Structure 1
Amino acid sequence: MTAAFGSRRVVVTGIGVVAPGGVGTKQFWQMLTDGRTATRAITSFDASRFRSRIAAEIDFDAVACGLSQRQIRKWDRTTQFAVVATREALEDSGILGESVPERTGVMVGTACGATTSLDREYAIVSDEGSTWLVDESHASPYLYDYYVPSSMAAEVAWLADAQGPVGIVSTGCTSGIDVLGHAMDQILDGSADVMVAGASDASISPITVACFDAIKATSARNDDPTTASRPFDATRDGFVLGEGAAMFVLEEAEHARRRGARVYAELAGSANRCNAYSMTGLRPDGLEMADAISAAMVRARLDPADVDYVNAHGSATKQNDRHETGAFKRSLGHHAYRVPISSIKSMIGHSLGAICALEAAACVLAVEHSVVPPTANLHNPDPECDLDYVPNIARELPVNTVVSVASGFGGFQSALVVTKPGWRA
């Protein structure tokens, strides 16, 4: 997906995070390195009728995060997360007022868009589903904004004063990586010098919980929610739903150098594949994920032995964890047995389209701090998942190159390569 354009390279100069366990990048990273979990019984609605009644919710105070009452009424929770994360990323980068608007773009990823607001509005305009109400006064005046996911990208663009390329990426659970790949392309092909990019989802709602209940993809460990998400563990029984957002300021490297920006990391390559096989099933050999990893590394001009850390999709479903293990062995060869691998979904749940952006933030911070976050709740490794999945305790080690992967319903497989600034030739 990503190809070099002359000598242009893409670096990260700002990060913003809204995640379970705390709002802000510092809180997010502290929680991950502490190995703490943010999963609990669902509090945002009565989940007693569902099979899975747990999630990784965010205690989000929109007013404390600087949103006005009008913004809170107008924006779905997903957009609120995206805007708050974008503000942090812009402030972190120091780019506000320094960039040329027409050379700045926005790319936002989401799997489900304004699910919570649409769920609420459907109940209102259909009288709790019994009959359609024709009086338009029943519906929110912002219903159209909820219905069209591009409204979130527009809000972010207005905040960033971005008049360049703007778009939405929605490829399910790989959206958070794919959106960064598309944003990289805009910079690499010369269409923009700066891209504000990331992903947001706030889908802890009855309709979403019902969707995953129907296919038994989520954990039913309702009596012990803090340990329910246990990727690569022999006792895993599904993922835990989450929510959140991560936004980045991406810049062409020379543009960042000229303005004296702090550079966290370089986004060195990305790729995606589809298995064209099943909406929910995965081939056990991990071929398509392995192909995505190999293609991303080729674009980054790296060999398997260069990889210091792999951020796994690690959803804690039986088939996904086996599929990933196979993909790592296929793409990294013998190095797969030496490289540390971990899944932060064990701590913050699976926030669908947003999770890969949050994982990308964890990868950038791993490079920045030379720390690999752990896989929480991993006490009884599955014999079929026989790689180094960094159980329970963070690990300090030099991190120059990270591969982050994602797997989504529909057979989507994506990979992203993050490197230390200046590390590649």
Structure 2
Amino acid sequence: MTRRVVITGIGIRAPGGKGAKEFWSTLTSGRTATRRITFFDPSPYRSQIAAEADFDPVIEGLTASETDRMDRATQFAVVCAKEAVRDSGLELGGLDPYRVGVGLGSAVAAATSLEREYLALSDRGRDWEMDPARLSPHMFDYLVPSVMAAEIAWTVGAEGPVAMISNGCTSGIDSVGHAVQLIREGSADVMVAGASDTPITPIVVACFDAIKATTPRNDAPEQASRPFDGSRNGFVLAEGAAMFVLEEYDSARRRGAHIYAEVTGYATRSNAFHMTGLKPDGREMAEAIRVALDESRVDVTAVDYINAHGSGTKQNDRHETAAFKRSLGQHAYETPVSSIKSMVGHSLGAIGSVEIAASLLAIEHNVVPPTANLHTSDPECDLDYVPVTAREHRVNTVLTVGSGFGGFQSAMVLRSPQEVS
């Protein structure tokens, strides 16, 4: 018999608030956390805005040596992992460490530190030959993405399966999906899983400028991210992290854990088509949704809310809308859909986990967060995108999806503990 997997702990650091309570307050109030970039002078760039997180490693309890050793994204992940374990009430020290694992997702890993070190080694790009005397002793930690997952394992004492998942912007869904599979098959009893990315650096900003994926609406940062709106013109780059404690259902029930939701279905597909392009019919995402729902053993009419990828690019929002119609049929028109990227931006590999956190809180509070800045309809985006204002709504089953460069399309189904007990 396949084991059931539930989420019992949440840790999150995202723009607009510290921890789950502040994060949820930002979402339900419809506040946007986007602003002009403060980490460096953005004036040379086409897109000069981002959703930055107010994160202080000292206030978060990290030591000076940890701060020196860890990239900013790793710091986010470690802090969130500790918070998720506390929230779960699980005493990991009393468990067999070989039965505890880690799954971490990231798209650009230690981009912040790698760019900083390059600038130091090359005298800000002026020297072709780099001076090894300026080399950081932690360069290996920044160069090898698996170090991020290892830091989480050391933090929580996990000696079971540990994996780094880097599937672009679906990494945050895929890392949790991988963790679910490990528990289901019996390779682990507990997984600490999620994702982290801190990509607000000149090189990442320049890369997205080059393909015109980010919005140039610099004069109005708060209104710049406009998923599904007819005037949308690109996404807003962001940073953030979310980590979860996942465990086997019966074990969680026996210890009286608070269960946010059961992960009942997960699937991922590739379009094998184009690095950044999407087919307009949404076929690959629709297939991922179909498989995730089939695995959940629920009819499409059970879906109460769709947490969309909703990046705010023309092609993504139309592709995604088509996928919902193809997979859910008429029920797609009857189901609230929203994109939290309108408020907290697009944190690349982390956003899938950040959106899982939003989905869990939607189930917890029976509230659908809004799509901020949605004022002008696009005839090709004609579903119920919950514009501007949060909505009280019964939320027992959530479909959350992700779409990433490289053709990755992922879907996950989360169900209320009342529905699965």
**Which residue number in structure 1 is paired with residue 48 of structure 2?**
53
* Aligned residue number for residue 272 of structure 2: 276
Distance 2:320 2:26 in 1: 25
In structure 2, distance between residues paired with 1:227 and 1:127: 37
Give distance in 1, aligned partners of 2:381 and 2:155. Answer: 44
Provide the identity percentage.
Answer: 64
Q: Is the 8 A contact 1:196 1:248 kept in 2?
A: yes
* Counterparts of 1:64 and 1:236, CA distance in 2: 37
Out of 11, 14, 17, the position equivalent to 1:16 is 11
In structure 2, the residue matched to 1:413 is 409
Give yes or no for the alignment of 1:123 onto 2:119.
yes
Q: Does 1:373 align with 2:365?
A: no
Deviation per residue, 1:372-407 (Å, 9 max, x gap): 100000011211100000001111111110000111
Contact (CA 8 Å) 2:122, 2:130: kept in 1 or not?
A: no
Which whole-Å CA distance do the structure 1 matches of 2:390 and 2:96 have between them? Answer: 40
**Alignment check: 8 A CA contact 1:127 1:133 kept:** no
Q: Give the CA deviation at 1:256.
A: 1.0
1:351 corresponds to? 347
- Per-residue CA deviations over 1:10-40 (Å, capped at 9, x if unaligned) read 0000000000011211110111011100000
- What one-letter code is carried by the residue in structure 2 that aligns with 1:378? L
Which one-letter code corresponds to 2:76 in the other structure?
F
Contact persistence 1:39–1:56 (CA under 8 A): yes
Which of 77, 97, 103 aligns to 1:82? It is 77
SS at match of 1:18: strand
Which whole-Å CA distance do the structure 1 matches of 2:312 and 2:388 have between them?
15
Aligned position for 1:28: 23
CA distance in 2, matches of 1:407, 1:57: 22
Residue pair 1:85, 1:247 contacting (<8 A) in 2 also: yes
**1:235-254 equivalent positions in 2, closer than 5 A:** 235-254=231-250
Paired amino acid for 1:94: G
Structure 2: how far apart are the matches of 1:405 and 1:341? 11
CA distance in 2, matches of 1:345, 1:365: 16
Q: Distance in 2 between matches of 1:41 and 1:157?
A: 35
Letter in 2 for 1:315: S
- Whether the 8 Å CA contact 1:228–1:240 is kept in 2: the answer is yes
Partner of 2:251: 255
Q: Deviations over 1:92-135 (max 9, x none)?
A: 01113333211100010000000010001011112222335564
Distance of 2:314 and 2:73 partners within structure 1: 29
- Do 2:197 and 2:239's aligned partners in 1 also have CA atoms closer than 8 Å? yes
CA contact (8 A) 1:119 1:205 kept: yes
* TM-score (normalised: structure 2): 0.98
Counting only pairs closer than 5 Å after superposition, residues 11-410 of structure 1 correspond to structure 2 as 11-96=6-91, 97-132=93-128, 135-410=131-406
Looking at structure 2, the residues matched to 59 and 304 of structure 1 have their Cα atoms a distance apart, in angstroms, of: 39
Q: CA-to-partner distance for each residue in 1:292-328, whole Å, 9 max, x for gaps?
A: 0001000111111000000000000001000011000
- CA RMSD in angstroms comes to 1.0
- Structure-2 separation of matches of 1:300 and 1:202: 33
Letter in 1 for 2:342: S
Q: In the alignment, residue 204 of structure 1 is paired with which amino acid? A: I
The AA in structure 2 aligned to 1:46 is D
Question: Which secondary structure state, in structure 2, belongs to the residue aligned with residue 269 of structure 1?
Answer: strand
Q: State the Cα distance separating 1:72 from its structure 2 match.
A: 1.0
State the alpha-carbon separation in 1 of the partners of residues 21 and 133 from structure 2: 43
Unaligned residue ranges in structure 1 (runs of 5+): 1-5
Asked whether the equivalents of residues 309 and 402 of structure 1 are also in contact (C-alpha less than 8 Å), the reply is yes
Q: Secondary structure at the match of 2:243?
A: strand
Which digits, 9 at most, give the CA deviation of each residue in 1:312-357, with x for residues without a partner?
0000000100001100000000000000000000000000000010
Q: For residues 184 and 71 of structure 2, what CA distance do their matches in structure 1 show?
A: 32
Equivalent pair of 1:269/1:297 in contact (CA under 8 Å): yes
Show CA shifts across 1:55-74 (max 9, x none): 00011111111111111111
Q: Distance in 1 between matches of 2:115 and 2:132?
A: 17
Question: Counterpart of 1:3?
Answer: none
Aligned length: 420
**TM-score normalized with structure 1 length:** 0.97
CA distance in 2, matches of 1:234, 1:40: 22
SS of aligned partner of 1:248: strand
In 1, Cα distance between the equivalents of 2:145 and 2:406? Answer: 20
Q: What SS is found at the alignment partner of 1:152?
A: helix
TM-superposed CA distance for 1:424, in Å, is 3.8
The one-letter code matched in structure 2 to 1:361 is: A
Query: Which runs of at least 4 in structure 1 moved beyond 6 Å after TM superposition?
Result: none
1:53 and 1:131 map into 2 onto residues whose CA distance is 27
Classify the secondary structure of the residue corresponding to 1:334.
Answer: helix
The one-letter amino acid paired with 1:73 is D
For residues 245-288 of structure 1, give each alpha carbon's deviation from its aligned partner in whole angstroms, at most 9, with x where no partner exists.
00000001012122221111101110011111111111101000
Unmatched 5+ stretches in structure 2 = none
Determine the C-alpha separation between the residues in 1 that align with 2:282 and 2:322.
5
